[in-house]
Amino acid sequence: MNIAAYIDHTILKANTSVAEIEKLCAEAREFQFAAVCVPPPYIKLATELLAGTNVKTATVIGFPFGYANTAAKMAESQAAIKDGADELDVVVNLIEIKRGNWDYLKHEISDLTQYIHQEGKIIKVIVESGILSEEELIKCCEILGPVNIDFMKTSTGYAEKGASTQAVEIMRAHLPQHIQIKASGGIRDYTFAAQLVNAGATRLGCSAGVAIVKGENNSANIGDY
């Protein structure tokens, strides 16, 4: 498979530098990744560096814990789109999920999806599957499927457990087919990346994108995939 086409090449650490964003975007141009995912202050720079390519600029909203209120997430989304973001990865309010406040989840993501789609952009909803029970993950699928989000995303990378093939399989079994799945968190090699794609992921959020692509090339040379 052309694994590069699945990858959101990502850097989201708090002390990310301009040089690191320049390197990230240069690699994205070279390997033709699907997108870069950068902190909100770097949206404009990434967009400028990727001008003339097919690589999208993604950013995060309510990151990493998701417990900002809806108005704050809406303001973040408006600012991100104004700065040039193509795709917005929004963290759900995990506190409300754990409290069983499913109406909050539905209304928050409905409002954000409506706005983001109105602006012609993509919304990926991060549910932090590693700290949800299977029942909670299925409930997220049941509630967010009818909202018509573009992607459900496994993880922020900040919880104790990131992406898993099991979580991707559960999502794929309980989401409408037109809603895509992004796996992220702890994807560091081609073998795991390929397993996630085979489980149903159509995007991969990775900081190790270059190593993953090189791993695919090496695997192809020895006939592993």
Any catalytic annotation for residue 182? yes
84 to each of 13, 18, 34, 119, 168, how far by Cα in Å? 20, 17, 16, 11, 29
Q: Show the 3-state SS of 65-88.
A: CCCCCHHHHHHHHHHHHHHCCCEE
Q: What is the pLDDT of residue 218?
A: 80
Q: What is the pLDDT of residue 219?
A: 67
Q: What are the average pLDDT values for consecutive 10-residue runs of the chain, which has 225 residues?
A: 97 98 98 98 98 98 97 98 98 97 98 98 98 98 98 95 97 98 97 98 97 84 35
Catalytic residue among 56, 73, 86, 89: 89
Question: What domains can you pick out in the chain, each with its CATH number?
Answer: 3-222 (3.20.20.70)
As a residue count, the chain comes to 225
* Residue 211 CA neighbour count, 13 Å, CB half: 10
Query: Contact at 8 Å (CB) between 200 and 172?
Result: yes
Any catalytic annotation for residue 89? yes
